[in-house]
Structure 1
Amino acid sequence: MDKTQPAVFERAMEQVRRTQVRAEIELTEAPAPQRLAPHAAALTAEVLIGEDEAAGGRLVLLFDPEGQDAWEGQWRVVIFARATLEPEMASDPVLCDVGWSWLEEAIATHEVTVAAYGGTVTRTQSQPYGAMSGREESGELEVRASWTPTDGQIDDHVRVWLQLLETMAGLEPAVAGVTALPR
């Protein structure tokens, strides 16, 4: 694969690198997969409440100048988001629907347009037994999704993922111009 990045990909990455994040979020560039597209970038994020990781995830941005039929375009955003839950919440039968609605709400909030949009939501609930019976029950929610940006504003698609992580972590929505007090 050609490692020279096209100008359109470089401009998109400049937008991504300028994305403002909340104080609770640690956003880092990460190694990107090499075989999914000629050009790729990846980010990881952790949402910290105090010293505890409340949510985390990964975003992969793929670009193929020739496009890919399954993508219905040249770009592809692939996200993974996970959060630890209270055991009672993890057992809620509508939790997966709620998790997907959080992603749809973030897409609507940032007014991005997408094609070939899909994904999965998984909830797990762990009950320890035997030698592990002293541990607490736990739960986790994972959202995996991908879509093709059709609006050219790649940084807004990163903001969609970040908003999903914030929601999964239980953070209140950020209000422009208002400083949040630490928890």
Structure 2
Amino acid sequence: MVVRHEASPGPGAVPAEFRDAVASLRSATLRPEVFCEEMPAPQRIAPYAAALSADVTVDDTDVGTGRIILLHDPAGNDAWEGTFRCVAYVRCDIELDLVADPLLAQVGWTWLTEALDAHGADYVAESGTVTRVATESFGGMVEDAGSAQIEIRASWTPAATGGAGGLAPLDVTPHVEAWGELLCTAAGLEPVPEGVAVMPSRRGQRGTAG
């Protein structure tokens, strides 16, 4: 996991609460269709950052991609309403005729909020956009079939829960798992039936290994 701190890059300078949050980021369980791995965290957004990227693969075909970034600013951020922030991105192929559906954007946003709620991920100050992209071919490429994608960009502040003697260490595991579910939903995968345990493949777990 990439952890960055501009002023004091030594490992000892990383706050314990961020180390705990990163450990929970790595412990998330994702479906076997999701190939997740660590990626360099963006710089200059926050003093500390960690990131994962993922691809959704069905029958050896990539049908979706995404990333999730965990930001931490010990001084707090008024816009975040906290000291941590999750930033997520999802892009998946969809049927071309869905692009014209006026409800698609609202449905795409609902996929995110329902996934967060389903995984028990408490959050505040959520915001984001849903974009529909359609591609048509002309001229010498006119015989190529058109394509369409949905892009979801979102950020939210994970809320810490109460623990003995105060707030417990921030657990972002449910937030990462909700992002993984969003990826699969946007890619058109059927939901896992209730009561059926998710058994990730080794490939799907490569990015979340400790």
Superposed displacement of residue 134, structure 1: 1.7
Is 2:197 aligned against 1:177?
yes
Indicate which of 133, 151, 156 corresponds to 1:147. Answer: 156
Q: Which amino acid aligns with 1:129?
A: F
Q: What is the Cα-based RMSD across aligned positions, in Å? A: 1.5
User: Paired residue for 2:66?
Assistant: 57
Cα distance in 1 between the residues matched to 2:48 and 2:156: 16
Query: If the length of structure 2 is used for normalisation, what is the TM-score?
Result: 0.81
Q: Which stretches of structure 1, 4 residues or longer, exceed 6 Å deviation after superposition?
A: none
Cα distance in 1 between the residues matched to 2:190 and 2:141: 35
Cα distance in 2 between the residues matched to 1:141 and 1:177: 28
Cα distance in 1 between the residues matched to 2:25 and 2:53: 12
Which structure 1 residue ranges, 5 or more long, are not aligned?
A: none
Residues 30 and 178 of structure 1, relative CA distance in 2, 3 Å threshold: closer
Superposed displacement of residue 178, structure 1: 6.7
Q: Which amino acid aligns with 1:167?
A: T
Cα distance in 2 between the residues matched to 1:41 and 1:16: 9
Q: Whose relative contact order is higher, 1 or 2, with alpha carbons under 8 Å and at least 6 apart?
A: 2
Is 2:136 aligned against 1:136?
no
Is 2:140 aligned against 1:122?
no
Indicate which of 107, 117, 130 corresponds to 2:116. Answer: 107
> How many equivalent pairs are there?
180
Is 2:50 aligned against 1:67?
no
For residues 103-137 of structure 1, what are the alpha-carbon distances to aligned partners after superposition, in whole Å with 9 as ceiling and x for unaligned?
11101101222121110000011111112212111
Q: Secondary structure at the match of 1:22?
A: coil
Q: Which amino acid aligns with 2:104?
A: L
Cα distance in 2 between the residues matched to 1:63 and 1:19: 19
Q: Does the 8 Å contact 2:32/2:199 carry over to 1?
A: no
Q: Which amino acid aligns with 1:44?
A: S
Q: Secondary structure at the match of 1:44?
A: strand
Cα distance in 1 between the residues matched to 2:101 and 2:91: 16
Is 2:44 aligned against 1:35?
yes
Superposed displacement of residue 91, structure 1: 2.2
Cα distance in 1 between the residues matched to 2:187 and 2:130: 15
Identity over the aligned pairs, expressed in percent?
A: 42
User: Paired residue for 2:205?
Assistant: none
Q: Does the 8 Å contact 2:31/2:180 carry over to 1?
A: no
Superposed displacement of residue 22, structure 1: 1.3
Q: Which amino acid aligns with 1:104?
A: T
Superposed displacement of residue 179, structure 1: 6.5
Q: Secondary structure at the match of 1:14?
A: helix
Q: Does the 8 Å contact 1:119/1:143 carry over to 2?
A: yes
